[in-house]
Structure 1
Amino acid sequence: MTAPANLIDRIGPLQWVRSALFVFQMYLAMAVMGVLYFPWAMLSRRGARAACRHYCLWVRWTASWMVGLKTEIRGKVPTGEVLIASKHQSFLDIIMIFSVVPAGKFIMKRELLWTPILGQYALRIGCVPVERGKRGQAISRMLKDVKSGLVEPGQLIIYPQGTRVSPGVTKPYKVGAALLSEQTGQACVPAATNVGLFWPRKGIWRKPGLAVVEFLPQIKPGLARETFMIRLETEVEAASDRLMQEAGYEPDQGHRDA
């Protein structure tokens, strides 16, 4: 994938320094806020959500002036009890989505539970840990928890490709979102993004620009599973490509087919 000339001109040694400082303060802020909010978070799920939301807003704000990375949410923000099936390119799309939904919780990799601070707060806000290769079992368990009232109402965020996927790379969509919508009777809100162009999966380099997460029209429950999956993948991929093109990038066809 090739960056436009105007962005290349803006990215140099100084941007690397700014990126490193931004990443350092981002994790420092996670530790400080995690400790300050900890008593409230352990007593109340509301406290845990407040801590996570304030942290997400902090990261969005500091990214805007420390590395020149603006963030924008488009579309109608889901507020009811719905599924959100989002394109996942980096930590930034997690931050942006959680900063605007009222009661977000994620289906997350179980190993993240052992991450200091992040893991404890993830459990407190109601995230569902998933073991690699056992996603079907995790969905079944979550459905049981919902029926028994162990999981509070809110917006369950799932990444249908199962992991972070770099811009322009193709990875198949898994059926979990369709199963959840089918068995809970909840509508699914697809979400597209271009954040991976500016905040990559790995490394500290952050590029200036406008990172966007866009909520798309709901997919109502009741569709056949195959129809649901085709619509979800088509709409999310098309919207994500459009957002990348808007940012001045053109997906490399060879990369996309990798």
Structure 2
Amino acid sequence: MKLLQWVRSILYIVQVTVAMPVIGLAFAPWAMFSKRGAYAGCKAYAAWAMWTARWLIGLRCEVRGQVPEGEVLIAAKHQSFLDIIMIFHALPRAKFIMKREVLWTPVIGQYTKRMQMIAVNRGKRGQAITKMMEDVNAGRVEPGQIVIYSQGTRVAPGLSAPYKVGTAVLYDQLAQVCVPAATNAGYFWPRRGLYRRPGLAVVEFLEPIEPGLDKRAFMARLEQEVESHSDALLREAGWRPTEAG
């Protein structure tokens, strides 16, 4: 059975990789002139990736909790490309904070520019946050749900990485509600390798953190909630600590 799942995993990866430029080109005429078209194209791809995962590799996707709307900061756990797909599909107008290199990726880069995603230079984090705040305050980035991965990178189940202060800076300067988000997606769709596990991948939007906490208290609460809920989702999926990495 595991050999069959390997075959299915490889077929899934091939078709979902091919689907990206195909869907991107199909929506390109609309996306060139409209942010709405760009969002529609990306949401179509996300829907395709999740739908085909269900019937091809037996991987179902579920979003739990109240889906945030309006202007809000979302501080999410990042384990896999799958959690990006799920969060983007769920939110009305997601604005991801991402590494600048993504802008030069074929298809994805053009769409992220059109949707005004927020690209940062990892080597100049302080300047990146300042520039992002300038863009938001000047109205060059339309209102939406700003999504930041507080650890700055994908972190496999069982591994740890520090929560970066950039999230606290945004929380403080934006003075908006922050919604933590947990996930177990990395158990099914790992950051490395071709194998995709069947099961139920979950992204869970947690209880909002109201503005006004000091940075230290905010970061402590954010990390505790995201990590504890992500661990609970992993245990629900059948993950064990010996599978770390």
TM range, normalised to the smaller chain? over 0.9
Partners of 1:99 and 1:243 in 2: how far apart?
20
For 2:16, the aligned partner's letter is: M
* Secondary structure of residue in 2 paired with 1:212: strand
TM-score (norm 2): 0.97
Partners of 2:17 and 2:163 in 1: how far apart?
31
* Secondary structure of residue in 2 paired with 1:133: helix
1:241·1:251 contact (CA, 8 Å) conserved in 2?
A: no
Task: Flag structure 1 segments of 5+ consecutive residues without an equivalent.
Answer: 1-9
How many residues of Structure 1 are paired with residues of Structure 2 in the alignment? 245
For 2:198, the aligned partner's letter is: P
> Which range is displaced more, 131-140 or 102-111?
131-140
For 2:44, the aligned partner's letter is: H
> Which range is displaced more, 130-139 or 81-90?
130-139
* Secondary structure of residue in 2 paired with 1:190: strand
Hey, what does 2:160 align to over in structure 1? 170
Hey, what does 2:145 align to over in structure 1? 155
Match of 1:121 among 90, 106, 111: 111
* Secondary structure of residue in 1 paired with 2:32: helix
Partners of 1:33 and 1:224 in 2: how far apart?
44
Deviations 1:129-180 (A, max 9, x none): 1112212211110110111110000001100000000001010000111111
Partners of 1:42 and 1:139 in 2: how far apart?
28
* Identity over aligned pairs, percent: 60
For 2:36, the aligned partner's letter is: R
Hey, what does 1:7 align to over in structure 2? none
TM-score (norm 1): 0.92
Partners of 1:124 and 1:87 in 2: how far apart?
25
Counting only pairs closer than 5 Å after superposition, residues 104-115 of structure 1 correspond to structure 2 as 104-115=94-105
Deviations 1:198-246 (A, max 9, x none): 0000222111011000000111111000000000000000000000111
Match of 2:76 among 76, 86, 102: 86
Q: Does 1:186 align with 2:176?
A: yes
Quote the offset at 1:252 in angstroms.
4.2
For 1:191, the aligned partner's letter is: A
CA RMSD of aligned residues (A): 1.3
1:165·1:171 contact (CA, 8 Å) conserved in 2?
A: yes
